[in-house]
Structure formats: C-alpha cells, structure tokens
Structure 1
Amino acid sequence: MASDPDVRAITSTPVGRSGGAARERGGVPLLIRFTLMAIFVFPASMVIEPIGASGTVPILLCLLLLLFWLASWLWGLHDPVPVRHPGRLAMSLLLLASFASYAALYAGWTGGSTEVTRASADRWLLLLAASSALVLVVAESIRSIADAMQVVRALLTGAFFCCLVGVVQFAFRVNPVEWIQAAMPGFTYNGGDTPFQIRGALMRVAGTTFHSIEFGVVSSMLIPLSIWRALNDPSGRRWFHWAQTALLVFAVATTVSRSGILALLVSLVVFLPFLTRSIRRWVLLASPFVVAAMFVFVPGFVGTIGAALGADTSDPSIATRVNNYPRVAQMLDTRPLLGAGPGNYSPPDALKILDNQYLGAIVTLGLVGLVATIAYLVLPGVASVLAARAARAPVLKGLAGAVAAGTLVAAACSMTFDSLSFPVFALLYPALVGLAGGVWRLVQAEATASSEHRPDLVPVRTTGTHPTRIPPDGEGV
C-alpha cells in the first residue's frame, strides 16, 4: 500500500475510556455525519416530485457533498489524486461500466431506448453519483481513529433510530414512518416500501427501510461496527452502546429473513478472528443467551425461521429465484456485453423480480457490468480483510475487521436479493466502502509510523501539514 501525504499518522494506542489519545476529538464535518444519519432517518419513499425517485433527502445530501468535493478540488482546497484505496477503484469500475451501458442505450444499440428506459438510466447514474460522493468524502475525512469513530457513531445513530421504528412496528403494529412522512412538507409519497409482511406466525417489519429483507441485511452489516464501538468508544455510556448492539440483533430477528440470518453469520465469521482472544470468548459465551432471548422476546421466531431455512423449491420465494436463471440466460444471449441499459429491468409481475443483484447486473449492464459489480461488492471487503491482517494496533485491527465483515455481508447477500435496488442498502454500502478506504489509509499510516522506529512517541492525528505527537502515557507534549 502506497503512502499518502495527507495521512501522516494515527493513534497506535487503543481507544478507551482512560487513554489521552482516546479523548481526541474527530474532525469529520457535520454535513457528512448528518448525511450518514439521514440514510436511515428520512424515508426513501418521500421524494421531491419534479426530481422523481432520486429526489430523496439522503440522495440530495450526497449530491450536495459531491458538489462541495468537486468545488474544493477545482479551487485547490484539497488534492484527491494521492488518496488511493481499493474502494475508489471498485467504484470507478462500476461507473465506467455504467457509462458504457448508458451510452449504448442512448445511441439505440441496445434496441430499447425509450423515454421510460432513459429515465431509469438517469436514476441509476444519480444513485452512482451519490454513492461516489460517500466513497470519496468519507475516505478522505478519516485521518485518525477518532475520525473513524465519528463516522461509526453517525451510522449507528441512524440505525438506532431505524431499529426503534422497527420495535414499534413489531410490538404495536403501527407504522411511525407515516408520522415522519406527514412531517415532510414539500415531499411526495412515491411508494415502494413494505413496512409489514406476514411470514408464518410472525409479522415481519422493515423499520425505515423498504423491506424486511433490507432491514435484516443492513442491521447485520452494522453489528460488527456496533460491537467495535461498544468496546472502544470513550464517550457515552457503555451499557447504552451494548443496548444498541442488542437492538440491531433484535432487528434481524424481527425480519424473520433468511438473508438476515445469512448476513449475521457472515458478519460474525469474518469479524471474530480480528478481536482479541478474551473478547472472542465473551462473544461465544453470550451467544446462547442471545438465542434464549429470542425465545422470550420474539415468540415463534425459532419455529418460523426454522421452517423458512428448511424450505425447498416448493417454497414460492425459492422457486422464483431458481426460475430466474434460465430467463436471465435468454436475456444475456440478446444483449451480452452491455445489457439493456442501467436500471432497465422492469419485471412484468412480482414472480419475475430478480432477487439477485448479480443477475440484475447481467441483464442491465451485461457481462462488462457483471465484472464491475463483482469488483464493487467484493473488492472493498477483501481489501479490508488484508488491512485487518496487516494492522498492529488492536483497535485498528478490530475496526478493519468490522468494516470487512459489513462489506462482505453485502457481497454475500447480494446473491439473495437485488440489493442496489433498495435505497438504504444502496447508500449504506458505499458509506462502508468509504470507511474501508479510510481504514486502508490508517493502516498505511501505521506501517509508516512503525518504520520510523520512534518508541518514545506515539503518532496521532495530523494537524495541518505536520503530524502532532504525544508521549505513550497520553499526556500532552
């Protein structure tokens, strides 16, 4: 990993409640933190009507971030060129594939250029622009563990709100999202959300997301980061941080989703090896109590999810997924390279929905887009695993492992639902990719600092153009 001139050093002491370095305040701008929270807080079903489906609060905030980023680059306030990380490469590949498919659609090469298809392609590019903003600005804003902690807090605060809505939905069968919608003058309800859905003996809920599957997956993506935050955050009360983690686990249970269970298993399998041995033991010891709590707080959960996991192709949900493959093969034969155009698959009925993001990429972006989609969904997670293996400080190793878990959950579960069609997932994932880029740079800085062979000083956050340092005991210089 190449060195970055903008990131000189990080704290190599664990973030905790007593260390001086742990008390350092992060420098992530408020607009970025508010945007991360807004992903979960503002319903994506509410849009500014003239803009259409892309006129949601989170997407508009992301586009505003992109404008600020471009303006600051043009005016020479920052230089993004040296800030290299695998997530930026992955995002660039998906952008290039989408641009190629977009051009083919508008040129009429795909044979399906209509006003409707062009509008769908425009929406896809706006989503990618918003996603690019998160990948770029989040990565460039993280120059210390304290910065990373600010980003994690913002994401978890939004997710906590989403989970509270899910609890109200599950316990009282009312939808607080309707109250939020009523308090958004100037916005129009655009539909698409499914707050309630029956499975077996239970009512599945979605929180502020579009669907219970999305709710379960995004909650599982954040559980490792919530555990890392509970172990290392110097601010707030630790019991409350653990309560937030428990609420995320409860959210996965309330979705009664096979994808949610898969996501939870992937996240823990990836994350646990990068925790200290004592923490791993505590997590394993707590697991039986978590399962027991599911019996108490979600009656019928184990039986319902057991039946769902044991279903075969006679289950309509599984049958439709299996039947997708021959249909996709036929569509691939028609437009093999660049597909039908970005965002241009409109199922004639619910049974024809492609519950697989990779199949969706084949249909809309062709084989070129499939390769780019795989890179976008897999490369950041693999890079984060490598960063976690290379990190020396336990707090940084744990952070990299948590980010790796969240991003690899996205890669795995994109095989079980069309993930980038869901608004919360579609913005949470690039936020995690940006966080992964920041972690990648912190690991670079740690390696650079250790090569200086200065055991008398602990490198911390860069201030201006010179790294500020403090002694190992945490007292100021």
Structure 2
Amino acid sequence: MTALSTAPAKTVQRPGRPVGGPLVLRWTMFLAVGFPAYLVWEPAGASGGVAQLLALALLGLWLASAVFGRFSVWEFRHPARVGMMVWLLVSLLSYAALMAGMSGTSTVAERAAADRWLLLLMAGIGLTLSITQCLLTREDVRRAVGWMLAGASVSGLVAALQFTTLTNPVDWLATLLPGFQDNGSGTPFQPRGSFTRVAGMTMHPIELGVVSSMLLPLSIWWGLFSTWSKAWRRWVPAVMLAICCVATVSRSAMLGLFVSAAVMIPYLPRTARRWALVAGPAFLIVLFVAIPGMVSTLFGTATAGSSDPSITARTDDYPLAWTLLVQLPVFGHGPGTWMPVNAMDIFDNEYLFTAVTMGVVGLAGLVIYLLVPALSSMLAARHAPDPELRLLAGSVAAAMFVALASSAAFDSMSFKSFALLVPIFVGLAGTVWLLVLQQLNQTPGIERSTGNHATRKKYGGRPWIR
C-alpha cells in the first residue's frame, strides 16, 4: 500500500463547486466523442474542432488560475502526470528541432502540420490537467463520465444509422451549423467483405472501433454504480458502444475488446464476472442471428494473416520507416510532418509514425505517456478498498492498455477523437490514483488534494475554476 503514497493528503471544503466539474469540462468530454471530428469551425481551419477549441480554453483557464494563485502547480501530483510531462517535453524538443532547421529543410506545409499537431497536443494537456484538478469525488467522476458516455451513445446512434441505411447524418448536421465545414479528413464508409463498415462521429472506422473498445469498460462501471439514472438507461451507453464495435467490422475493435476484457474482468464484482462469462457468448449468438455473415466476416478478417492486403500494407511500412529513422534518429523529421504523396506510404502504426517524425526520443516518450497511466491505474485498482473504486481504476487501466495495443494498428495520434480521449483517460488515471490514496490514508471526507503543509496553508485547497 505504501507504493501509492506520493504525498500527504488533506480535506478541502469547496462550497459551491459544481458536481462533475465545470460545465465547460463536461461539454468538452461530451463533444470529444459525440461531435463529428472532421467538422471544423471554418475560421480556425483544421484545428477548429469544437472539442479541441474547448480543450484549449480549459488549458488557458488552468494556466491563468495558476498565474493568479488559485492553486499550486505542485498540487494533485500523480504518476500519470509524469508521463504527460515526458510526452510534452520530447514533443517540444522535436518541434524546436524542426523550427531551428535541425531536421533538415522543411516546407511551409510541413511547418503548418507541426503547428496543428502541437495545438492538438496542448488541447490534450488542458484536458488532463483539468480533469485531475476538477474531478475530486466519485460523484464528480460519475457525472462527468456520464456526459462522455452520452456523447458516445450519440456516436453509436449515428453509426447504427450509417450501417443500416448507408447514409451519413453528419451531412445533415453540417447544413444546420453555419460557419462549420467538413475538412475532408473523414472516411465515414469503407467496404469490408460483404459489409460497409462505418465511422460514426469519428474520422475512420478503425478509430471508432478503438475508441468504443476503450470506453466500453468505463460504460460497464457506470452501468453498475451510477445512481442518477434509471437502471435500464444506465446500460444504454454499453449497448451502443457494443454496436459501434460491430459496425466497424474491424480487427482493431476485436483486439481492443480482447485487451479491455482481459484487463477489466478480474476487477469486476463476483456476480458481474459471472454475468460477463454469459454475456460474451450470448452477444455472439445474437449477432449471428441478427446480422447473417457478420460473425464469419469478423473471424475471417482476424485470421486472414498475410493474405490480407491491409496487413501486408502495414508490414511493408517497416523498411521505409527504418530508412527514414536512420536519417534523423534522435528528434526525427518533425511532429506531424510525414505527408506522403503515395497512400501506400502512410504509416498505419503510431509507433512507426512517431519514430519517423520524432525519433527514438519521441518513441520512448510515447510509450511512457501511454504505459505509465495504465500501470498506475492497475496499481490503484490492486489497492482500492471497495468494488466501485477498484472497477473504476481497472476500467481506466483497460482503456490505456487498449490505446497501447491499438496504436500498433493505425497512426492513432493523428485521429482527433482518439488524440483527445487518451488525455481524458490520463486525467482519470490521476483522479483514481488520488481517490485510492485518500481512502488508504483514511482521512475523513473525500474532497481532498495532495500537497505539503506550506501549500495547504497558502492555497487552502481552493479550486482553480468554479
């Protein structure tokens, strides 16, 4: 248990603090998965996604509050923040190397791509810092996660309509929002066998499958322990996320489901574990009856091996990636700057993409960024004193391990829904770490933060935003 003790804890009274964090944070979490990732506000260009703009606003509020002494930047310490800071540091080093000319000559388009990549990174940092700073109680987490799962349910409804009608409701939405435009980065439909797989609100069917498999464990936790909705309503997000995984007809979704189940199921309450063993086969039977050919298609894509062109296209990337890495091995060619003319040269592997664009330093930073929250959440789950907190920590760990595994299947950080969802889970990893630490220290009350005596005396645990 002492492994969790990073700092002494304290009790903080926060009158008037909104449950679930500030409204702007909850809306950002909703829109990160519930609004089309490729529909942008035209004046802001490719970085004009609504969720990204709100996340940047959150970062601005956090920084302003720190400057004006609303809190100490050393408060709310947790291991996942270390991973985030490492990722930020290596990203800035690679970006600086590009702008200083250390990465060779660069075009205007490449520098603009690096700027967009950096803005997306800063938006994610705003989410991580805000979540850990604002979600201090279990009810905070339940309420904020409920908003995010509501967004996922909207995406699931869109995916279901796309799959059954082969029409895209996002096209209708774009006509109702003046000032917004489709930036052309989305792939809402893609053939797979005898089916057409769909992307919902995300940019690509693979992204939808991965995002859904990351959120599914959290939706099960919410269904079991949320108290502010009727029982049947609490399970709507889980059902919609399962539909998303099927509608993508994706190996990445199947991999994500396997990883999330392997990590999360051991932390389920005993009765829920038994139900999980029944629900899996039952879901396959319903799928087999309701959608003829779906089970065989999923099985066929999973066992195709080297006969599948999409797999060989990925393995063919390794020689090119190695050649480019050897040219600039330390900081790479610049974050986000790989824009090949030939579509076959796109790296469908985030680790290869990061190695080429940010070098071995960036690759190490990416692994640390994804792995530290996963391991710290598993450690928190191991020491959590009650079933609800144990499953919450296990669900966060499952999502981060899905992110680790699926990043080998597509260039994940280039997709906005994924790139914003990961920092949300990094922030939740910090929250569950501190919640478990609170209970282990057996301090009365649960609204607390970390910090030394001088910090407590000076800042009194005041919130950074009300």
TM range (shorter): over 0.9
Matches within 5 A, 1:33-182: 33-182=26-175
Q: Alignment identity in percent?
A: 45
CA separation in 2, counterparts of 1:41 and 1:390?
33
Deviations 1:43-96 (A, max 9, x none): 222223343211111111001111111111111112231211122111111111
CA separation in 2, counterparts of 1:446 and 1:465?
20
Alignment partner, residue 357 of structure 2: 364
Higher helix share: 2
Normalised TM-score (structure 1): 0.90
Whether the 8 Å contact between 2:438 and 2:446 is mirrored in structure 1 is no
Whether the 8 Å contact between 1:121 and 1:341 is mirrored in structure 2 is yes
Matches within 5 A, 1:242-253: 242-253=235-246
Whether the 8 Å contact between 2:198 and 2:248 is mirrored in structure 1 is yes
Distance 1:80 1:5, change over 3 A: farther
Query: How far did 1:3 drift?
Result: 5.2
Alignment partner, residue 379 of structure 1: 372
CA separation in 2, counterparts of 1:61 and 1:343?
22
Query: How far did 1:112 drift?
Result: 2.8
2:297 aligned to 304, 320, 342, which one? 304
Whether the 8 Å contact between 2:33 and 2:202 is mirrored in structure 1 is yes
CA separation in 2, counterparts of 1:27 and 1:217?
25
Whether the 8 Å contact between 1:101 and 1:339 is mirrored in structure 2 is yes
1:459 aligns with 2:452: no
AA aligned opposite 1:202: F
Whether the 8 Å contact between 2:393 and 2:429 is mirrored in structure 1 is yes
Query: How far did 1:345 drift?
Result: 0.7
CA separation in 2, counterparts of 1:139 and 1:297?
42
CA separation in 1, counterparts of 2:199 and 2:372?
29
CA separation in 2, counterparts of 1:265 and 1:48?
37
- Aligned pairs, number: 447
Deviations 1:219-273 (A, max 9, x none): 0101111110111011111112223212211210111100000000100110011
**Secondary structure of residue in 2 paired with 1:209:** coil
Alignment partner, residue 271 of structure 2: 278
Alignment partner, residue 396 of structure 2: 403
Query: How far did 1:461 drift?
Result: 3.4
Alignment partner, residue 464 of structure 2: none
Alignment partner, residue 431 of structure 2: 438
Whether the 8 Å contact between 1:217 and 1:263 is mirrored in structure 2 is yes
Whether the 8 Å contact between 2:153 and 2:236 is mirrored in structure 1 is no
CA separation in 2, counterparts of 1:297 and 1:425?
30
Query: How far did 1:6 drift?
Result: 7.0
AA aligned opposite 2:142: M
Deviations 1:269-292 (A, max 9, x none): 100111122210111112211111
**Secondary structure of residue in 2 paired with 1:81:** coil
Query: How far did 1:465 drift?
Result: 5.5
CA separation in 2, counterparts of 1:342 and 1:44?
20
CA separation in 2, counterparts of 1:283 and 1:83?
35
Alignment partner, residue 388 of structure 1: 381
Whether the 8 Å contact between 1:94 and 1:369 is mirrored in structure 2 is yes
Normalised TM-score (structure 2): 0.92
1:320 aligns with 2:313: yes
**Secondary structure of residue in 2 paired with 1:198:** strand
CA separation in 1, counterparts of 2:409 and 2:20?
37
2:224 aligned to 228, 231, 252, which one? 231
Whether the 8 Å contact between 2:333 and 2:358 is mirrored in structure 1 is yes
Q: Which runs of 5+ in 1 are unaligned?
A: 11-23, 453-457, 467-477
Query: How far did 1:330 drift?
Result: 0.6
CA separation in 1, counterparts of 2:113 and 2:310?
26
Deviations 1:176-212 (A, max 9, x none): 1111211221123211111111111111011010111
Runs of 4+ that moved beyond 4 A: 3-7, 462-466
Query: How far did 1:140 drift?
Result: 1.1
